Structure 1
Amino acid sequence: MLASFTPPSRAHLLCLVIGAAGGFVFYLLHMPLPWMLGAMAFTTLAAVSGVRIALMPRVRMVFVAVLGIMLGSQFSPAILDHVAMWLVSFLWLGLYVVIATWAVRWFYVKIARYDPVTAYFAAAPGGLSEMILAGSAFGGDEARISLAHGARILVAVFALSFGYRWFGGYAPGGAPMLGTTAPLATIDIFWLALAGFAGYFVARLIRLPAHALVGPMFLSAALHLAGVTESKPPQEVVVIAQVVIGSMIGARFTGLAFGLVLRGILLAVGATALLLGLAAAFGLAVAWSAGLPFASTLLAFAPGGLAEMSLIALALGIDAAYVSSHHVVRIFMIIVAAPLVFRLLGGRRSG
């Protein structure tokens, strides 16, 4: 294992330094979710300015797993009382995925003038890596699909973070701290570490999507639901995880032409506005039919990434277990159904 270790390059170190600087600046400015948003903003600007930055996959996996452990700690036995309401919400989610995909596909075909294959896989709201691979296999434009998903997450995170602050009254000062500041007992460190390592490797072995986050989250949730531990990862580690996740988003734009990125972000503003409108409509429907808070249902249906939307929920004190569960289910729906539906509807390779 040590023999295969690759030391970080200048691009890897620079990415983390820029991300940490951005997070610190946003923290000083009292921005919402400062460590992730600041890292995301600074690394995105660096990437589109031509700075060569990258993030080591192993570093990313470690801190994504930390977030998974943190999310799992939000599950408690009391959640079992709400399972019936969650099932109603999951049914609405399935309908949302279908309508949202076709609405955004129309947007990318008619407005962006993308070919049908690229438009379809750029529109499917979830599973970034999987949609890039599937879209490429069918002959879609890999760069445009990647940019569409990366820019969607970028726009959605900023829009929702500031939207909840400006219109929802979620002030940073009133939000709960992420992670624990109390010293962890040795046994709790053991259980949290077990959730991270075992969850990661088991999820990877059975090929779960987003395995670095989903596996630790599931095992951490099981330990917390069973009452084995009530502990959370240390606050400092969660802050670093936010910097890494934010930097990861910005680093995706490295090597892309400025004009391509700018157009992609502008298109993502339109696509994300459409998705947020649909998410709000479905969020209201779920809030009405299942008796759940609209602040939670909107974030559960919002068109951002699993890690990013879950972090927003944690930072705002919104039911993170509910939000993260819906994004996990959405990703499963998209990954399983999108290529299959494309074939059933007579989809052909582009070109």
Structure 2
Amino acid sequence: MGDIARIALAIAVGAAGGTLFYALSLPLPWMLGALTATMMASLAGLRMQGPVRIRAAVVAVIGVLLGANFTPDLISQALDWAVSLVLLAVYLLASILLVMPWYQRIGGFDAVTAYFAGMPGGLSEMIELGEAAGADVPRIILAQSLRIVTTIALIAIWFRWVQGYDVGRNAVQGGFADISWTDLGLLALAALLGSWLGLRLRLPAPTLLGPMIVSAALHLTDLTRSAPPVEIVIAAQIILGTVLGCRFQGLRARALVPAVGLSLGATVIMLALALCFALVIEAATGQSAEQVLLAYAPGGLTEMSLIAIALHAEVAFVALHHVVRILLVILAAPLAFRRWKG
């Protein structure tokens, strides 16, 4: 089977999983359904390949969607977010101090591998930094991948069945028929120009942040009030879930079970700590604990922002905190590691 056939099979499995989750009104159906279906198929030995090459284009669509949620009224509240942004650094430090011993004592990781496996940063950045430091890279890949997957699942379940929020349907309502050609052109421009700027400026998550910034500028200046069509957003979520699920290709279910248990424990520690910080911040500033929890959750920027959209939360608040988290980890993790080893 060629690469194109394996990619097509992966997307078909992901789409089937998303459709099933949507029909059952399960949380975040298109992404979580695609992720679950492709992960199970990967562990069962089905030969698939994630559509990694088109992920950047898909992420750009999500970036444009996030930018559509920026409004002048929302930005005027930015100064009120200073407390939670400052405490974010404290949360990250507390997380690694709790999770690193978990991976060492329960998982049997060496100290260097536990450090980069437990660091709540981006997957690619932690792999690169960990490899340079001599860590066990496969363990880092598995720990970081499972953390993202576990966080998405736990957050979706928490808000749907514990908090009672409706995250079973897509929050984007307008389809192609509801958007003018002019608005479609502006949104496409935001995706293309934003991706180019993000790569040129070397932003973290460039094809997400670049389009988000350009889209936010278009919406803040009222040049457009439209979001990407729901059909494209659904397709984007299916592809994102499929890419995540296909990361488990080549793994055996028997070998994955202890890794899942280890990741579940680490993620629960981080989320419980995030919930404590969220309650403190709510009491101190009045900011919703639910939004702070989403902003502090150790999941991916793209995935947590999509959940924020589904919950009609302040996407700018959630996205900004995840951008700051990634920047803090990228800048501080290697410095702290060198100081620790020294």
Evaluate the alpha carbon distance shift between residue 165 and residue 145 of structure 1 in structure 2; reply closer, same or farther with a 3 A threshold.
same
1:97 pairs, out of 92, 97, 104, with 92
Show the counterpart of 2:229.
234
Show the counterpart of 2:41.
46
Show the counterpart of 1:264.
259
Residues 71-105 of structure 1: CA deviation (Å, up to 9, x unaligned): 11111000122111112111011111111122111
Equivalent position SS for 2:77: helix
- Tell me whether 1:316 sits opposite 2:318 in the alignment: no
- Tell me whether 1:22 sits opposite 2:17 in the alignment: yes
Q: Which moves more between the two structures, 57-66 or 25-34?
A: 57-66
What is the Cα deviation at residue 259 of structure 1? 3.2
Show the counterpart of 1:3.
none
What is the Cα deviation at residue 206 of structure 1? 2.1
Show the counterpart of 2:171.
177
**Contact kept? 2:167, 2:307, Cα under 8 Å:** no
- Tell me whether 1:280 sits opposite 2:279 in the alignment: no
Structure 1, unaligned runs of 5 or more: 1-6
1:188 pairs, out of 172, 183, 191, with 183
Residues 94-145 of structure 1: CA deviation (Å, up to 9, x unaligned): 1111111221111111111101111000111021101011101111111110
2:116 pairs, out of 116, 121, 126, with 121
Q: Which amino acid aligns with 1:285?
A: V
What TM-score do you get using the length of structure 1 for normalisation?
0.93
- Tell me whether 1:207 sits opposite 2:202 in the alignment: yes
Show the counterpart of 2:285.
290
CA distance in 2, matches of 1:295, 1:314: 13
Residues 34-84 of structure 1: CA deviation (Å, up to 9, x unaligned): 111100100110111122222233321111110110011111000122111
**Contact kept? 1:127, 1:209, Cα under 8 Å:** no
Q: Which amino acid aligns with 1:198?
A: L
Q: Which amino acid aligns with 1:180?
A: G
What TM-score do you get using the length of structure 2 for normalisation?
0.95
CA distance in 1, matches of 2:154, 2:183: 36
CA RMSD in angstroms comes to 1.5
Equivalent position SS for 2:341: coil
**Contact kept? 1:253, 1:261, Cα under 8 Å:** no
- Tell me whether 1:160 sits opposite 2:155 in the alignment: yes
In the alignment of these two chains, the number of paired residues is 340
Structure 2, unaligned runs of 5 or more: none
What is the Cα deviation at residue 276 of structure 1? 0.6
**Contact kept? 1:179, 1:233, Cα under 8 Å:** no
- Tell me whether 1:343 sits opposite 2:342 in the alignment: no
Residues 301-337 of structure 1: CA deviation (Å, up to 9, x unaligned): 1111111111111112122221111111111111111
Identity of matched residues, %:
43
CA distance in 1, matches of 2:277, 2:46: 40
**Contact kept? 1:126, 1:335, Cα under 8 Å:** yes
Residues 263-316 of structure 1: CA deviation (Å, up to 9, x unaligned): 221111100010011110111122122211111111111111111111111112
Residues 155-197 of structure 1: CA deviation (Å, up to 9, x unaligned): 1111111110112111246x66325235222221121111111
CA distance in 2, matches of 1:346, 1:171: 47
1:140 pairs, out of 125, 135, 156, with 135
Q: Which amino acid aligns with 2:201?
A: I
**Contact kept? 1:300, 1:324, Cα under 8 Å:** yes
CA distance in 2, matches of 1:329, 1:234: 29
Evaluate the alpha carbon distance shift between residue 55 and residue 176 of structure 1 in structure 2; reply closer, same or farther with a 3 A threshold.
closer
CA distance in 1, matches of 2:3, 2:294: 35
What is the Cα deviation at residue 225 of structure 1? 1.6
**Contact kept? 2:3, 2:49, Cα under 8 Å:** no
What is the Cα deviation at residue 214 of structure 1? 1.4
CA distance in 2, matches of 1:315, 1:53: 29
CA distance in 2, matches of 1:179, 1:319: 17
**Contact kept? 1:15, 1:54, Cα under 8 Å:** yes
Q: Which moves more between the two structures, 127-136 or 199-208?
A: 199-208
- Tell me whether 1:326 sits opposite 2:292 in the alignment: no
Q: Which amino acid aligns with 1:25?
A: L
Evaluate the alpha carbon distance shift between residue 176 and residue 52 of structure 1 in structure 2; reply closer, same or farther with a 3 A threshold.
closer
Q: Which amino acid aligns with 2:118?
A: A
- Tell me whether 1:65 sits opposite 2:72 in the alignment: no
Show the counterpart of 1:303.
298
